[in-house]
Structure 1
Amino acid sequence: MFIAGDCATCHATTNQKDHLKLGGGRAFDTAFGRFYMPNISPDPKDGIGNWTLAQFTKAVREGVGPADVMPDGKNLYPAFPYTSYQRMSANDVRDMFAYIKTLEPLPGKVPDHDLKFPYSLRRGIGVWRLAFLDGRPIENQSVATKPATNASAQHELVARGRYLVEAAGHCAECHSPRAFTGAIKAGMHYGGGPTPDGKGYFPNISQDETGIKFWAANSVVNYLKSGISPLNKTAGGDMAEVIANTSQLPINELRAMAAYLKTAPGVDKPAPGQPEPNLTPQIVMIPLQQHNVVLPISDATAVGKADSVYVVNTKPFHLDEAGFGTKGGEAGKLLATARLKVLERKNNLLKVKLEGWQVDGVQSAIFGMQGQRMMVGVLDEAAIEKLERGQKVASQSGPAWSPVSLTVWIDNTGLNTGLADMWSYSSSLYNSSCGTCHSLPEPHHYLANQWIGNLGAMRRYTSLTTDQYRLLLGYLQNHAQDVHAAEASAK
């Protein structure tokens, strides 16, 4: 509940990265003035260390804090989303309180709120609370750990999602327009609206064409997990901080949130500058756009200093430097993720050594790991003759494998000096290409050889280039269940 409630986003101590240090101090600019987020660490003087559970519950669900502790007296301003937290169950509030009490006490008093008149008069907040709080919690429905497969399970999933979205997650607090009173406008939940400081805009997330009606439930799940939308846009600003929390939630909780959001009534409210959707029979053709694909390639300077490099895009190789520039001089191809040891440099040419494995009966291919169809090289007959082979390793489940190596010449383009950039690029590619329709499985969900068929079957539904496809396949195979297990065993 601490993570789902997004507590650290507001209350973490400023100018540091530990989200469990809840010393507060963050400034929150609004049309009413500037709010400062209070210290909610267990510090007895400046935080909530001396609070009782009853006091904490009253603050969270009713917006009333102990007068001798809270900097803004008994009535708490609704910048603290107790209008949503009032829907939380007593047990969840209790558990949240117990968890916060285990964190580090942090002394330090935050500044007083700097609000315009008459909003600086706290007495009016009591009247506001009477008008806009009803104190009705939402039933905290548990949710199964697997996707819903029948109507009853789907109903439970939606019920759990309602609790997470409406109560703990308080999504409507940002994604809904406000009336002059500061309350959410009636009938406009999730219709989007200006940010509190008036400088930005929270998007419409209702089930309308101007919202996210076109998002599949799995797209919502993927967005809450990765921060990448079906349009391949990455969450930024305040939403990036929210994603930092939702990405830590179990996948079944994200499915529940998505299931509920897909039931929310639509609000026809385009964002500023956006047109109304075309709901007529008229067909509007969107101009074809072509984008140059940018791959994660290191510059020539970095490649020139590296002892080893990795292949990013499919590239031909030669058995000697004299073969460059001659017709028919190529002896094969190196494929994405192949690791090469640099032996020699001549101008823009590299003499490199490729090490890998071959399986009995397949001489024209080199694989990256024993027992795995992780192809890193394709050879012609001349290259096959130049292979250096080690002793065969018998296999209980199939043909024997032999360690092999091959020394070749390549140019210095299409290479990367480290895997981190390649994996980051490939992970983003996985989200943007597959997450539009699917709730993405973790790469280690499948075996390395299973990824060949799984990804290959879906390739025609993507716009991936051949190089992007091979790079993505290499990423998924290198992070597969049995590859991780083999690496852990080796260590």
Structure 2
Amino acid sequence: MRNGRTLFVAGDCATCHASPDRHDETLLGGGRSLNTAFGTFRMPNISPDPKDGIGSWTLEQFIIAMREGVLADKGNAYPAFPYTSYQHMTTADLRDLFAYLKSLPPVEGRQPDHDLKFPFSIRRGIGLWRLAFLSGAPLPVEVGKSERWIRGRYLVEGPGHCVECHSPRTFAGVIPDDKRFAGGPNAEETGYVPNITPDETGIDYWSIEDIARYLKAGVTPIGIRAGGDMKEVIKNTSRLTDSDRLAIATYLKTLPAVHALGPGQQQPNHGEKVLLLPPSANSAATSKVGALAGRPAELAKANALYVVSTKPFYLDKPANGTTAQPDGKLLAAAELVVLARNGNWLQVRLRGWQQAGSESAFYARRGQRIMQAVLSSKALSDMVHDRTIRDPETGQDWTQGSLTMWISSDGLSADLQRLWHYSDELMSHTCAVCHARPDSKDFLANQWIGTLGAMRHFTSLDDDQYRLLLTWLQYHAKDVSTEAGSTGR
């Protein structure tokens, strides 16, 4: 039964056949409609109901339906039911899948038949289609391939039926051999399914681990979340074993590469000149890190808050309804002690270090340029200084001090670890796209400024993402000791 459940999940059966109004993947009463260029396909009831589902089917009838596309009650099945892929499943696996389906709750109710355009509405014509395009051949034996690759090929080409969605089709609904997995319009013709071959227009830059991680979490190496029907697929692939996800990824990376641009996709640069993203590509009207801000109830209880995105501060609380000139700005992850609350305004204190000769930069650490604020001349005059220390290695003077200020309560978080977790994920989705992910402790805090800065133009990070990622790298550099749950100040 466990294997049958795995095949049910790998085959994404519930996405098409679960009753849309039940919100239960085990209730396979059908009812979903698929509007295509051929007409409207309606997903049938495949629950074990003896009258309206497949409860009266024998194992032999089930295997014939899955491998040959012939239904016990209706005859020829349209290839919207992906038996062209299911034909590759083993008899043992089909038996286990059938046993699992028979164990699920029966659902009453027969779904209406498909509503297709002529001549596709003639089911007998599908018999000719099957004769022409359904090979019935098992997957060829591959000598010298690893068990992981063989398992991946089976899942992709068989129960997973990935090729059915990720390939273009001819007028006759056939996938051209030289375009397999190369992407194409989705069945509803409302979007585009991407190229998943290892070409530069597909997943060439994805590592095997990237693909496996995507199948588990639904996030691409550049931080884009799965959408559309793929969200439903991820709900299923996330429940496969790590081994099966790696197997799928291993096989996909060995597919023949097909150069096929999707709509709006830029032709890859084959010239010698390195093309950089324009500065505007790294800016956004709304920061992508804004969702990290805490809820008002969370912020109201906290004595220490952390800046999520760059925000202005004021030495005096601005009067309601007025626009005041800021006295400086706070940067990502700056740690603030709350002194007072007044409506939407907070009086806070920021502690840090200033380097002689560049006092307008307010750093979190002495000798380590972890920027937390930029100060105006007025703010400099309000600074309260504690002590001055000369760095024995550089001979530079560093002065410790604090500044009291007013800020609005937006763009703050009481959970530093949430900011750090986001930054960690951002690192994986940015730097690890092109090369092996570096460890934060590979560099000193000050070295990370130039290292990350040199690569910024090759990313699509906005200003706040870049600032937060840099701060996270600096706080976790090899020369910075940070206690858990603290920035270490």
When normalised by structure 1's length, the TM-score is 0.67
Separation in structure 1 between the aligned mates of residue 250 and residue 50 of structure 2, nearest angstrom: 41
Name the structure 2 match of 1:120: 121
Q: Deviation of residue 66 (structure 1)?
A: 1.0
- Contact 2:169-2:176 at 8 Å conserved across structures: yes
Separation in structure 2 between the aligned mates of residue 46 and residue 215 of structure 1, nearest angstrom: 44
Partner SS, residue 40 of structure 2: strand
Report matched runs for 1:74-473 at 5 Å. 74-138=75-139, 155-274=146-265, 276-279=267-270, 281-283=271-273, 285-289=275-279, 291-292=282-283, 294-296=288-290, 302=296, 306-308=300-302, 310-313=305-308, 336=333, 345=342, 348-350=345-347, 411-413=407-409, 414-416=411-413, 425=422, 429=426, 431-433=428-430, 436=433, 453=441, 460=451, 465=466, 467-468=468-469
Partner SS, residue 29 of structure 1: strand
Deviations 1:345-371 (A, max 9, x none): 58723579xxxxxxxxxxxx9xxxxxx
- Contact 1:86-1:137 at 8 Å conserved across structures: yes
* Number of equivalences: 403
The one-letter code of the counterpart of 2:130 is R
Deviations 1:148-188 (A, max 9, x none): xxx96x63222221111111111111111212221111322
Change (3 A) 1:342 1:201: same
Q: Deviation of residue 99 (structure 1)?
A: 1.7
Q: Deviation of residue 422 (structure 1)?
A: 5.5
Please, which runs of 5 or more residues in structure 1 have no aligned partner?
68-72, 142-150, 323-332, 353-364, 366-376, 384-407, 441-450, 476-482, 484-491
Change (3 A) 1:11 1:348: same
Q: 1:58 aligns with which of 51, 58, 64?
A: 64
Q: Deviation of residue 474 (structure 1)?
A: 10
Find out whether 1:48 has 2:88 as its counterpart: no
Change (3 A) 1:337 1:16: farther
Q: Deviation of residue 105 (structure 1)?
A: 1.8
- Contact 1:295-1:312 at 8 Å conserved across structures: no
Partner SS, residue 306 of structure 1: helix
Separation in structure 1 between the aligned mates of residue 40 and residue 9 of structure 2, nearest angstrom: 25
Partner SS, residue 158 of structure 1: helix
Q: 1:8 aligns with which of 14, 20, 27?
A: 14
Please, which runs of 5 or more residues in structure 2 have no aligned partner?
1-6, 317-329, 350-363, 365-371, 373-383, 388-403, 457-464, 477-483, 485-489
Q: Deviation of residue 213 (structure 1)?
A: 2.4
Change (3 A) 1:115 1:304: closer
The one-letter code of the counterpart of 2:64 is K
Deviations 1:35-81 (A, max 9, x none): 001111222222222222222111112111112xxxxx121111000
Separation in structure 1 between the aligned mates of residue 266 and residue 310 of structure 2, nearest angstrom: 46
- Contact 1:218-1:437 at 8 Å conserved across structures: no
**Structure 1, 261-270 or 207-216: larger mean CA deviation:** 207-216
- Contact 1:337-1:474 at 8 Å conserved across structures: no
Separation in structure 1 between the aligned mates of residue 100 and residue 225 of structure 2, nearest angstrom: 31
Deviations 1:332-353 (A, max 9, x none): x99959898998658723579x
Q: Deviation of residue 455 (structure 1)?
A: 10
